[in-house]
Chains A and B, each alone.
Chain A
C-alpha cells in the first residue's frame, strides 16, 4: 500500500452529504464504439444516479478513458444512447456544447492553458460560455482556488506551478463552470507520489460535498475511501461492478481477481 493510500486512510471522511438520490444523472444504454474496425467499447450499459461516486479501473487499453470521454462527446460513439442530465447526446453541436458546459472534466496531463494566468484559466469559460460578468467570474474563481488551497497562485502562469498544483487548478477551472457532474481521467497518473495526495484530498473534499463523480483511476485507497461503486473494465466491456468492500474483498470474475492481485499485491 502506497504512502498516499495510507495517508488517505488517516483522514476522517465526512459522509453527511454523500447521499445518492433516485434522480438519474447519466444513462448509457447499449453503447458501442469503434476506432475504424476496432471495437473499443462493447455494449456498455451504465446508469449513474445523482450523488454517486464511481471509480472505473482496468488494465490499460480496456476502454475506461474512452468511456468517460464519450460522456462529454470528446469521442463519438457509433451505436446506442448516452443521456446526460436528460439531454440525449446527438451530433447537434448546440447539444454537445450544452452537455459539455454541465459536465466538468479533469485530464491526466492537466491541459491548463499555458498562455493565460491561473485566474484567467478559471474565468475564461464562465465569461465566454456562461456570459458571467468578469468581476463575478473572478470572485467565483477565487472561491474555488481557495477551495483547492492555492489562491496565492492566482496571478502566476501554469508553467510556474508544480504538477499537483496544476491539477488542482484544473479541478478548480472545471468547478468554476458549476458542473453537476465531474469526470476524472486518470487525474493522478502523471504526478509524483508526494503530489498525488494533495490532488486526492481535493477530490475527496469534492465527494464530501455530494458531487456526482466518475473517476478513472488506479488509486484503490481513494476507491475504498469515497466510491460507492467500483467498475472493472477489460477489452472494452464492463466485467464487474460492485460496492468497494465487496469488490476488493470478494471479486467474482477471474480477470478481476488477477487484476486486483497484481495492483494490490505489492
Chain B
C-alpha cells in the first residue's frame, strides 16, 4: 500500500474481499461481560458490590417464601410447625390457602343451591331436599349450617368454579368482549358482543330480572335512533334535544319538579311489563356484598372504559375555539385534577346524598365508579392534549385542505395520531386508576386491602400482615404488568412512521 501511495493516489480494487470472522474474544458472553460488567476497575468493583446486594436480598426473601407453610388452621399453628421444623423464618401461606376466595370475591354470596345439587345431592336429600333447605320459609340457621359444612367439605377449588360461576363467567366474557378492541386482527363482528357485554355483565353480577338491563339497553338504543333520525331530518341541534328528552323520559322523571310522578320514568314500566310477560332472572345481589379483587376489577374496568371517551372529548373541548365549551372543559379538568381522589370518594359516599332528591337510593358502587371515571378522565384529557399538541400543524392543514370537516379530520387524521403518541401516558393513567381502586376501602367498600383487615380481625389470623399483602400485590401486579406490556405491543404495532 505504501508503495502505491508513494507513486500516486489512484487506487482501483481488483478483487472483492470475502467477509471474515471477528478475532477471538470479540463475540459472545465473554465480550459482553467485559464490556458491560468489567470494563474498568471501578466498574468491576460496582459489579461485585451489586451482586452482593442481590445476594443479601434474595438470602432474606427466598427462605421465607420457599419454606412457607401451606397447611395450617391458624397463625399459632403456623408458628408451631415452623418451630417444629427448626426454621428461623417461614411464610404462613396457609392464610392464602384458606382465604383466597374471600380475597377474590369478598362477601359475594356463592350459588349454594347449585353446589348442593351438583356435588352434595345425598346430603341435600337427607336434609329434606331443595325446598326444605333453600326454599322460601326455610330455617335460616339450618341453611347457614348446611352451607357451611358443604363449603368446608367441597374445598375451595370446587366452590371457586361452581359457587362463583357468575363473576367468573362475567370475567371470562370480559376477556372475549375486550379482545376485539385490543387486537384488531380478530373478526370485527365480535365488537357487537363488546357492545352487549356491559348489560350482560350487570345482569350476571347483580342478578335480578334480565329485563332490567335489557330495558336500559333498549332506552339507550332508542335515544340513539332518535338522535340519528331526528338529526338527519331536522338538523343536529334538534336531534340532540330530542335525544335528551327521550333519555329524560326513559331514565328520569322530567315532571318531578311539578310534583307529577307515576308515568315517568318509563324504565320501570317497560321492564316490569316485560317481566310479567316472560319472567326470567337470577337471584339479586346488592352492591354491599361486592368485594375483594372482583371489586377492583369492576371499578377499574368500568373506569377505564368510560374515562377514555370522556377524556378525549374533554381534550378536544379544551382545544375548542368556542369560549364556552373551552372554559367548561378547562374548569372541569382543573377542579377535578386539583382535588385528591380520596376527597372525591368521600364526596361520592357522603355529600352526594345531600344534593340528590330525598328518597333517591343511588347505589354507592355506581357513585364510586362515576367519581373514579371523572377523576381519570381529567388526567386523560391532559395526556391526550399533550398528544394533540405534539401533532404538526401541517396535519390539521392537510386534513382541512382536503375538505374534511372538523369531526372527520379529528376522527380520521388527528386522533389516531395523537392517541398513538399518548399511549404511554394513557396506559400510565389506567394503571394509576386501577391501583387507586384500593382507596375505596376508606369509604367502607371491601376491596382486597379492606379484606386483609377483616381477615386479621379473626382470632385465627390475628397478627398476619406480609403474606396477605404479598398476595394482593401479586394480583395487582399481574393486571398492571399486562397493561404495560400491551401498551408496548401497541406502540410497536403502530410505529408506521419509522424512517
Q: Is the CB of B403 within 8 A of A111?
A: no
In the complex, B496 has a CB within 8 A of chain A? yes
Are A159 and B497 interface neighbours, CB within 8 A? yes
Does B102 touch A at the CB level, under 8 Å?
A: no
A-B contact pairs, 9 of them (CB 8 A): A72-B401, A100-B402, A101-B403, A107-B401, A111-B392, A113-B395, A124-B402, A128-B412, A129-B408
CA distance A103 to B398 in the complex (A): 12
**Residue B397 interfacial (CB < 8 Å):** yes
Per the bound structure, the CA–CA distance linking A101 and B499 in Å amounts to 31
Check: B222 CB closer than 8 A to any chain A CB.
no
A97 at the interface (CB under 8 A from B): yes
Per-residue contact bits, chain A 71-105, to B (CB 8 Å; 1 contact, 0 not): 01110000000000000000001000110110111
Query: Is B412 touching A111 in the complex (CB atoms < 8 A)?
Result: no
> 14 other contacts beyond A115-B420, A125-B402, with CB at 8 A cut-off?
A73-B400, A93-B406, A100-B400, A101-B403, A109-B394, A113-B399, A114-B496, A115-B417, A124-B412, A129-B404, A158-B497, A173-B402, A174-B401, A174-B402
Which residues of chain B have C-beta atoms less than 8 A from A173's C-beta? 402
Residues in A172-222 with C-beta less than 8 Å from chain B: 173-174, 177
List chain B residues, Cβ under 8 A from A73: 400
Q: Establish whether residues A93 and B497, one from each chain, have CB atoms under 8 Å apart when the complex forms.
A: no
Shortest beta-carbon distance from B491 to chain A in Å: 13
A127's nearest neighbour on chain B, judged by CB, is B412
For B496, list chain A residues within 8 Å (CB).
Answer: 114-115, 157, 159
Q: A74-B397, A111-B395, A115-B417 are in contact. Are A98 and B494 (CB under 8 A)?
A: no
CB pair B404 A125 closer than 8 Å: yes
Bound complex: CA of A177 vs CA of B496, how far in Å?
Answer: 25
B283 within 8 A of A: no
A227: interface (CB < 8 Å): no
Chain B residues whose C-beta falls within 8 Å of the C-beta of A174 in the assembled complex: 401-402
* Residues of A close to B398: CB separation below 8 A: 107, 111-113
Give the complex CA separation of A103 and B401 in angstroms: 8
Interface residues on chain A, number (Cβ under 8 Å): 29
The contact of A74 among B401, B405, B420, by CB within 8 Å, is: B401
Which residues on B sit within 8 Å (CB–CB) of A109? 392, 394
- The answer to whether A101 and B497 have CB atoms under 8 Å apart is no
Shortest C-beta distance, A165 to chain B (Å), equals 13
Which residue of A93, A98, A157, A177 is within 8 Å of B402 (Cβ)?
A: A177
Among B394, B403, B405, B413, residue most surrounded by chain A Cβ atoms (within 10 Å):
B403
Q: How far is the CA of A74 from the CA of B403 in the complex (A)?
A: 11
CB closest chain-B residue, reference A75: B397
B494 to chain A: which residues have CB within 8 Å? 115
Q: Which of B397, B403, B406, B498 contacts A129 (CB 8 A)?
A: B403
How distant is the Cα of A73 from the Cα of B403 in the complex, in angstroms? Answer: 11
Enumerate the 7 nearest inter-chain pairs by beta-carbon distance, A residue then B residue, closest first: A101-B403, A111-B398, A114-B497, A125-B402, A111-B394, A105-B401, A100-B403
Which among B399, B402, B416, B494 has the highest number of chain A CB atoms within 10 Å? B402
CB distance from A180 to the nearest CB of B (A): 13
Asked if residues A113 and B401 are in contact (CB atoms below 8 Å), the reply is no
- A residues within 8 A CB of B395? 111, 113
In the bound complex, CA of A97 to CA of B406 (Å): 10
1/0 per residue, CB under 8 A from A, across B291-324: the answer is 0000000000000000000000000000000000
What are the residues of chain A within 8 A of B402 when measuring CB–CB? 100-101, 124-125, 129, 173-174, 177
Shortest CB–CB separation between residue A45 and chain B, in angstroms?
A: 24
What residues on A are CB-neighbors of B405 within 8 Å?
Answer: 93, 97
Give Cα A194 to B361, complex, Å: 74
- The digit string for A39-79, where 1 denotes a CB below 8 A from any CB of B, is 00000000000000000000000000000000011100000
For B420, what are the chain A residues with a Cβ–Cβ distance below 8 Å? Answer: 115
Residues of A close to B417: CB separation below 8 A:
113-115
Complex Cα gap A65–B276 (Å): 71
Bound-state CA distance A157–B417 (Å) is 14
By the criterion CB–CB under 8 Å, are B497 and A157 in contact?
yes
The residue on B at minimum CB distance from A97 is: B403
> Would B403 and A107 count as touching, CB distance under 8 A?
no
Residue ID in chain A nearest B397 by CB atoms:
A74
- Chain B residues whose CB sits within 8 angstroms of the CB of A107 once the complex forms: 394, 397-398, 401
A27 to chain B, nearest CB (A): 20
Q: In the assembled complex, which residues on chain A have CB atoms less than 8 Å from the CB atom of B394?
A: 107, 109, 111
Cα A105 to Cα B420 with chains together (Å):
27
Q: Are B403 and A177 in contact (CB under 8 A)?
A: yes
Instruction: Identify which of residues 416-453 in chain B touch chain A, using a CB-to-CB cut-off of 8 Å.
Output: 416-417, 420
Report Cα–Cα, A158/B499, bound state, in Å.
Answer: 9
List, in ascending order, chain A residues with CB within 8 A of B403's CB. 97-98, 100-101, 125, 129, 177
- Closest residue of chain A to B408, judged by CB? A128
Q: How far is the CB of B235 from chain A (nearest CB, A)?
A: 12
CB distance from B184 to the nearest CB of A (A): 13
Interface hub of B416, B496, B498 (most chain A Cβ within 10 A):
B496
* Assembled-state Cα–Cα distance A73/B392 (Å): 19
Q: How far is the CA of A98 from the CA of B402 in the complex (A)?
A: 10
CB-contact partner of A100 in B392, B401, B413, under 8 A: B401
When C-beta atoms are compared, the residue in chain A nearest to B401 turns out to be A105
Q: Which B residue sits closest to A124, measured CB to CB?
A: B412
Distance in angstroms between the alpha carbons of A157 and B494 in the assembled complex? 11
Within the complex, the shortest CB–CB distance from B399 to chain A, in Å, comes to: 8
**Chain B residue at smallest Cβ distance from A161:** B499
List A contacts of B404 (CB < 8 A).
97, 124-125, 128-129
CB distance from A89 to the nearest CB of B (A): 14
Q: How far is the CB of A123 from chain B (nearest CB, A)?
A: 11
Cα distance, A177 to B398, chains bound together (Å): 13
Contact mask for chain A residues 110-135; partner B; CB cutoff 8 A; 1 contact, 0 none = 01111100000000110011000000
Residues of B within 8 A of A93 (CB): 405-406
Contacting residues, chain A, for B392 (C-beta < 8 A): 109, 111
Identify the interface centre among A73, A115, A158, A159: most chain B CB within 10 Å of its CB. A115
From 154 to 174 in chain A, residues with beta carbon under 8 angstroms from any chain B beta carbon are 157-160, 173-174
A209 to B224, CA, bound (A): 48
Binary contact readout B320-364 vs A (1 if CB under 8 angstroms, 0 otherwise): 000000000000000000000000000000000000000000000
